[in-house]
Structure 1
Amino acid sequence: MRFRSTRGASPEVDFETAILTGLAPDSGLYLPVEWPSFSNATLASWTDLSYQEVAARVIEPFAEGFVDLDELESLLAAAYEGFGNREIAPIVDLGDLHVMELFWGPTLAFKDFGLQMLASMVDVALQRHDRRATVVGATSGDTGSAAIEAFRDRDQVDVVILYPHGRVSEVQRRQMTTVQSQNVHAVAVDGTFDDCQDLLKRLLADQTARQAFSLTTTNSINFGRLAPQIAYYIWAVLKVGRGVSFAVPSGNFGNVFSG
């Protein structure tokens, strides 16, 4: 599948390039040129599959030419091995309301779904080309924790997370700053989350720095993080039924956009 920048000034790229680049050179977001669709018959055939098997089939069209279905299933099995519930995204029936639990990942955030898989896919791409990359991100708390947990101890990746000093929860601060991994760098910024985002955007806009350090990003501007999150919306439809409406209690647009 090909991906195009939302600003239209960068060449189209494949999935591997999109996840390794994160943000397009023109500062646009990489999105698919064409969005895949799944027929009712296809969805019906997925009803008895595990979460990882469903997720692999959702991601497969996006990752065409990068990894095949069997490889995706293996990557997803490894990525979600540390989740605390075998169903990965269990759905609780409350009568007229169903609640999908997205907190069973290692940092208790829904972002574990995207970042654990993104880290695995970035690893595959870097190993193929014998490259090293620096993954950068800005966080108000949970993105940083999830990114650090996903990328820690990976041989070909350094991860640098910017967070606002004194403006994240103590649990999240400890999740980011007590990791004993040589490739993890949590940086406290004297300012707000918006200041962290501005620093990140300026860094990614510097093409010299991007090439010198092989920069990519963990934030939801990276489609490699969004693609795995699409899967839990499909999972909910399979378990609850078609015609379901979603209410997303989150301030993160990446969570909503993936649905």
Structure 2
Amino acid sequence: MRYLSTRGDPGRKRFCEILLEGLAPDGGLYLPDHYPQVDAATLARWRQVFNGGGSGGYAGLAFEILSLYIDDIPATDLRALCEKTYTEAVYGTPQIVPLKKLENGFYLEALSNGPTLAFKDMAMQLLGNLFEYELGRRGEALNILGATSGDTGSAAEYAMRGKQGVSVFMLSPHGRMSPFQQAQMFSLMDENIHNIAIEGVFDDCQDIVKNVSNDLAFKHAYRIGTVNSINWARLLAQVVYYFAGYFQATEPSTGSGRSERVDFTVPSGNFGNVCAGHVARQMGLPIHQLVVATNENDVLDEFFRTGVYRVRASADTHETSSPSMDISKASNFERFVFDLLGRDGARVKALFGETLTRTGRFDLSADPAFAAAAGRYGFRSGKSTHADRLTTIRDVHARHGVVIDTHTADGVKVAREHQDTAVPMIVLETALPIKFAETIVEALGRQPDRPSKFNGIEQLPKRVKVMPADTAAVQAFIAEHCAPRA
């Protein structure tokens, strides 16, 4: 398997090269040169692996899928990394991502059982182990630069804390995350963890990460890598739970040769989580609809409704009660547009480079390819507001006795608008409600349950550096605090 850039760079690289690299040299994102195809027989075998326990289970399924994309890590080592990552001890359940049935044909897939109570743990725990493995094999160090709107930061920091040869520099929008999210990150005192609160919004943080990654001289001099979903390895790890959800919501094939279909609804701001679903569908997982659920920052919903991708300015990025989706530039969206436009790297480079820089938007509504977004690729979308979140949280609690977080509420609300009663609908749960306690109290009049290990976390000492939205200032901080070369 080789990997190519969405912007047409002619280089073809292997997995471990792009694992440590992040963005491609031309500013594009990496994708595999093809999607391995999964037939009904393979699906049946993987179902047995997932249900088998022992050397199977979720870790075994992860190995089966990852091994299709990773051929420069020995199979025995890759299997060991999967088994080290996906354990009942870490996730609290042997299924790792169990389904919660709300009603016939409507499920939540629990992705928030990891160390930081958010779906980002599902990929970040593996990424931490992959980084440590590859850096150890090379005898090198890596400085990880990331941006977070809420959950990526804590998931990355908990996955990387104490890892040999790794330092983390995590940018977050100053004052825009929930108190619990801030406490999870800023209370970490590990010497290899550095929190930087940027005076701006998430997109300012994301822009700095891309600016640094595009400064090739600095990137190489200071060994800069990424953990945001622009890193293909993280997105690849997320593909696994789409297959796991499918196996739990459907029955084995009866021998007709036609597998049962499912729908997924995914709360999404940066298009990373749902892009993993796109990859799973391209591999052959029988997904009927991929429903993108946004909050008031509806750049993705607008595109799937109209064909217009319109970036919002920082001043027009709403601060909402589902803050991890307060994003107006969906960095992973470029991967889907690359596929949508027949993998035309030159055109993608023009759209996401010159056109967006000059006009802040592009319009594919008249392009014949746009119809394929819903037709060939199965995408639908919808939007949720604060009032919708409150109503949905109250409804799910009253009818099912389940408390959901604000982002999952966005997903449930939009999923109900697109539900086909003949097809199971799976909503990807994104976080535990305690991370957004203020809105849960507003909706239900009580505090959500809190895991005992997080009691009093908001009162712990905090270590964070507040900085302006200035790339050069962040680079200077990295240079001063970076991990030494091995």
Shorter-chain TM-score bucket reads: over 0.9
Moved more, 243-252 or 117-126: 243-252
Amino acid at match of 1:247: T
What is the match of residue 209 of structure 1? 218
Answer yes or no: is the 8 Å Cα contact 2:150–2:178 preserved in 1: yes
The one-character-per-residue Cα deviations of 1:196-219 (angstroms, maximum 9, x if unpaired) are: 111111111101111011111011
What is the match of residue 94 of structure 2? 86
What is the match of residue 58 of structure 2? 51
Separation (CA, whole Å) in 1 of partners of 2:2 and 2:131: 17
Q: CA RMSD in A?
A: 1.2
- Counterpart check, 1:63 vs 2:70: yes
What is the match of residue 148 of structure 2? 139
Separation (CA, whole Å) in 1 of partners of 2:116 and 2:92: 10
Amino acid at match of 1:30: Y
Deviation at 1:10, TM superposition (A): 4.7
Where 1:148 maps in the other structure, the secondary structure is helix
Separation (CA, whole Å) in 2 of partners of 1:84 and 1:252: 28
1:1-259 counterparts in 2 under 5 A? Answer: 1-49=1-49, 50-68=57-75, 70-81=76-87, 82-93=90-101, 94-241=103-250, 242-259=260-277
Q: Which structure has the bigger radius of gyration? A: 2
Amino acid at match of 2:79: E
Q: Tell me the TM-score normalized by structure 1.
A: 0.96
Aligned length: 258
Where 1:247 maps in the other structure, the secondary structure is strand
Where 1:24 maps in the other structure, the secondary structure is coil
Answer yes or no: is the 8 Å Cα contact 1:84–1:106 preserved in 2: no
What is the match of residue 315 of structure 2? none
Moved more, 25-34 or 230-239: 230-239
Answer yes or no: is the 8 Å Cα contact 1:10–1:24 preserved in 2: no
Where 2:170 maps in the other structure, the secondary structure is strand
Instruction: Tell me: CA distance 1:19–1:30, structure 2 relative to 1, closer, same or farther (3 Å).
Output: same
Separation (CA, whole Å) in 1 of partners of 2:240 and 2:35: 14
Separation (CA, whole Å) in 2 of partners of 1:9 and 1:46: 35
The one-character-per-residue Cα deviations of 1:110-135 (angstroms, maximum 9, x if unpaired) are: 11111111111111111111000011
What is the match of residue 320 of structure 2? none
Where 2:244 maps in the other structure, the secondary structure is helix
Deviation at 1:234, TM superposition (A): 1.0
Amino acid at match of 1:169: S
Amino acid at match of 1:46: W
Answer yes or no: is the 8 Å Cα contact 1:138–1:196 preserved in 2: yes
Instruction: Tell me: CA distance 1:206–1:146, structure 2 relative to 1, closer, same or farther (3 Å).
Output: same
Amino acid at match of 2:19: I
Deviation at 1:84, TM superposition (A): 2.3
Answer yes or no: is the 8 Å Cα contact 2:22–2:213 preserved in 1: no
Where 1:258 maps in the other structure, the secondary structure is helix
Q: Tell me the TM-score normalized by structure 2.
A: 0.52
Deviation at 1:16, TM superposition (A): 0.3
**Structure 2 unpaired stretches of 5+:** 50-56, 251-259, 278-486
Separation (CA, whole Å) in 2 of partners of 1:256 and 1:119: 22
Deviation at 1:43, TM superposition (A): 1.2
**Identity in percent:** 40
What is the match of residue 351 of structure 2? none
Amino acid at match of 1:249: P
The one-character-per-residue Cα deviations of 1:85-119 (angstroms, maximum 9, x if unpaired) are: 22110012331212211110111111111111111
**Structure 1 unpaired stretches of 5+:** none
Separation (CA, whole Å) in 2 of partners of 1:6 and 1:54: 28
Answer yes or no: is the 8 Å Cα contact 2:149–2:173 preserved in 1: yes
Answer yes or no: is the 8 Å Cα contact 2:58–2:86 preserved in 1: no
Where 2:266 maps in the other structure, the secondary structure is coil
Answer yes or no: is the 8 Å Cα contact 1:144–1:161 preserved in 2: yes
Where 1:160 maps in the other structure, the secondary structure is strand
Where 1:13 maps in the other structure, the secondary structure is coil
Amino acid at match of 2:41: A
Answer yes or no: is the 8 Å Cα contact 2:2–2:33 preserved in 1: yes
Separation (CA, whole Å) in 2 of partners of 1:80 and 1:170: 28
Answer yes or no: is the 8 Å Cα contact 1:23–1:222 preserved in 2: yes
